[in-house]
Chain A
Amino acid sequence: MTTWAVRAARAADDGDDPIEIDIEPGTDSLTSGGPRVTVGESTPATRGRGAIVEIVVDGWRFELEVEEASRARLRAGATADERRHRADAGDELRAIIPGRVVAVSVSAGDRVVVGQPLLVVEAMKMQNELRSPRDGIVVQLAVGPGQTIELGDLLAVIAEATDAP
């Protein structure tokens, strides 16, 4: 836990869109008269998101997500891709993080329901379960156990079940 003094505020943000700030490491200096800033708990970056930092400014408590801008843009792009694909065909699942597939719990042709675990991706020593976003049939399984995947790689395709169960 450290207490810093930070210089005057930038423009206030108010939304989920991240704000990009240029930071030159090593230029921090203690300035008097600024707000009192306490840095509390920090959790390291995990799959799909940046590090979480608790910051208390003049008694106001915030939890902030911090990550490198280049990485955040890549991830935002992948998420948008995923959403677009899902909206278009509603059936392509793509990797939103790079990592390694450690388990696959469905096979091509399986009927799945929304929320059903499909596969597990390990990234940064964290296991992350990927669940089906919808009811349907696994028409394609693009990866297998042990396979390394990159951001945006196709993992599986879920299509609408054509017959009644």
Chain B
Amino acid sequence: MRKDDPDPEPSLRADPPFRRILIANRGEIAIRVLRTCRDLGMQAVTVFSDIDAGAPWVREADAAVRLGPAPAAQSYLRGDAIVRAALDTGAEAIHPGYGFLSERAAFAAAVASAGLVFVGPPADAIAALGDKLAARRTASAAGVPVVPGSMEPLPADAPSDVDQVVRLADEIGFPLLVKAAAGGGGRGMRRVEDRPELVAALAAGAAEAASAFGDGRVYLERELRPARHIEVQLLGDATGEVVAIGERDCSIQRRHQKLVEEAPAPGLGPDERRTLFELAVKAATAAGLRNAATAEFLRDADGRFWFLEVNARLQVEHGVTELVTGLDLVREQFLLAAGRRLSPEVHAAARAAVRPVRHAIEVRLSAEDPARAFVPVPGTIGHWRMPSGPGVRVDTAIAAGDRVPPDYDPLIAKVMADGEDRQRAIARLARGLAEIEVSGIQTTLPFHLALVRDGHFLGAELSTDFVAEHWDGPVRQAAARADAVVAAARHAAAGRSRSRAPGRWTVSVRKDAADSSAWKDAALAESTDRWPEPPPP
């Protein structure tokens, strides 16, 4: 190594971007951010609700601050308490992770006005991008094609305006989606098949948006089907430079929430990728983006890209981009938050992004029942074995015996695999999934195990309709039940074989113990409410 080309890591450790970070999140993402703090030689302060006392991100931090009772509104959403915790513990910057406060402009502003650094885009950019309608107008004005629909909030109240809304809907074309201007996570979203359903869907969407976000403004978007969900990872610095470092295909979804993500998006050529990156950078630059964000697009059957929104934060699925680019995106976030320029590594990744030489896939292992429309099923983990080995990465905060509480997201682990190409990444993912053992709760594992053997998935036939078209959860569960009956009988017989002669055993299937959970009932109601298709019986 030349003398004028020093190894950057030791010098970074000697001069880290910050001395102490507060991580305003829980679960696997709190651990994920904490690990980068350790890599950079920074101290980490974490926060916790009562139900999370003693959790790994609490035990492993340099300091941990209690926020309040389990409900998020009384703990992880208490921006004031989190800012105070940062000040009290001498943290210089706050990393919000994803979810919770990560996209609340008021929180980012409060952090800044307390003299602390918010590790994410500036408050005004979060506000501009968090308002989906404003983001649509900004992107459109910058010359980025947005999904056809309305650009202004709909007048949903006055009866005299109904004709106007119906005319607008006719222009956009059915079926269409009612979406919340303040939206996210599919909330406030309603699918409208045809004109008669429109008014009711508007009212329902507006009411749900008002209760979820305190903002009942809704707009219309044409439903693009079939389509693929493809998003671009962006990084930007204080000079206003924004680069794209790669795209992800996140088409496999349920309830408009992602189940599987991969990078790069299969089947895109360098030219198409370059076009996509230009659109993403244009939209983000126009909104004044800095730090890390993701621009989301739909790709229609004709291969055209349509802007959906920009998420002004680190995404759940950032890991697959890390595996393909070799970057640590949280590290880059910290460097950018400290005011540094985009690093040479980031520029190199941006140049290489058009022709990626690795492939990575992530599946989200969640406490959900894939035989019943992916309804969340909380409970207590019994046995817990996660995979490892070449090309497999697992991000999780769960251990055997842990409770998966009903208060937060049902995501329990992100299982990633990478390789030189998609085929090898899938082979490693299949191997990793086969190593997983979880008892005590139902998880989405059956879906993922079936996915890596599914001809449509292996053939990269990806679409946002994938789950609706190719997943037969109840059928597969019934087949597995037959196996379980035999296995139970064998288990019982093996236990008795020492003392008794061969016998005839009766095996009956009991209702799942989790069936009586109030959380599950509430979640079922919510998921059926949101599920665009009738859930399987």
Which A residues fall within an 8 A CB radius of B? 1, 3-4, 6-7, 9-14, 16-26, 28, 35-42, 50-70, 72-73
User: Other than the known A60-B371, A64-B485, what 10 A-B pairs have Cβ atoms closer than 8 Å?
Assistant: A9-B483, A13-B485, A25-B493, A52-B510, A53-B488, A56-B437, A58-B476, A61-B441, A62-B488, A72-B506
Q: Which residues of B contact A73 (CB under 8 A)?
A: 506
Q: Which residues of A contact B448 (CB under 8 A)?
A: 59
Shortest Cβ distance from A71 into B: residue: B506
Flag if B506 contacts A58 (CB, 8 Å): no
Distance (Å) between the CB of A151 and the closest chain B CB? 16
Shortest Cβ distance from B371 into A: residue: A60
Flag if B484 contacts A62 (CB, 8 Å): yes
- Max chain A C-beta neighbours (<10 A), residue from B482, B483, B493, B512: B483
Flag if A65 contacts B507 (CB, 8 Å): yes
Distance (Å) between the CB of B308 and the closest chain A CB? 31
> A55's contact among B443, B449, B491, by CB below 8 Å, is which?
B491
> B382's contact among A54, A59, A72, by CB below 8 Å, is which?
A54
Tell me the complex Cα distance, A6–B491, Å: 11
Flag if B504 contacts A20 (CB, 8 Å): yes
Flag if A57 contacts B512 (CB, 8 Å): no
Indicate if B479 sits at the interface (CB-CB under 8 A). Answer: yes
Flag if A61 contacts B510 (CB, 8 Å): no
Q: Which residues of B contact A14 (CB under 8 A)?
A: 478, 481
Distance (Å) between the CB of B148 and the closest chain A CB? 40
Q: Which residues of B contact A35 (CB under 8 A)?
A: 480, 483
Indicate if B505 sits at the interface (CB-CB under 8 A). Answer: yes
* Contact-size category for B: 35 or more
Indicate if B438 sits at the interface (CB-CB under 8 A). Answer: yes
Indicate if B440 sits at the interface (CB-CB under 8 A). Answer: yes
Tell me the complex Cα distance, A135–B81, Å: 56
Q: Which residues of A contact B383 (CB under 8 A)?
A: 1, 38, 40
List which B388-446 residues lie within 8 A (CB) of chain A.
434, 436-446
Flag if A17 contacts B508 (CB, 8 Å): yes
Flag if B506 contacts A19 (CB, 8 Å): yes
Shortest Cβ distance from B377 into A: residue: A61
Flag if A41 contacts B485 (CB, 8 Å): no
Q: Which residues of A contact B482 (CB under 8 A)?
A: 9-13
Flag if B493 contacts A60 (CB, 8 Å): no
Tell me the complex Cα distance, A19–B443, Å: 26
Tell me the complex Cα distance, A20–B508, Å: 9
Distance (Å) between the CB of A55 and the closest chain B CB? 4
Flag if A61 contacts B479 (CB, 8 Å): no
Indicate if B509 sits at the interface (CB-CB under 8 A). Answer: yes
Flag if A64 contacts B507 (CB, 8 Å): yes
Flag if A22 contacts B504 (CB, 8 Å): yes
Indicate if B257 sits at the interface (CB-CB under 8 A). Answer: no
List which B486-517 residues lie within 8 A (CB) of chain A.
486-494, 496-497, 502-510, 512-513
> A37's contact among B443, B487, B507, by CB below 8 Å, is which?
B487
Shortest Cβ distance from B497 into A: residue: A25
Q: Which residues of B contact A39 (CB under 8 A)?
A: 487, 491
Flag if B437 contacts A3 (CB, 8 Å): yes
Tell me the complex Cα distance, A35–B485, Å: 13
Flag if B483 contacts A50 (CB, 8 Å): no
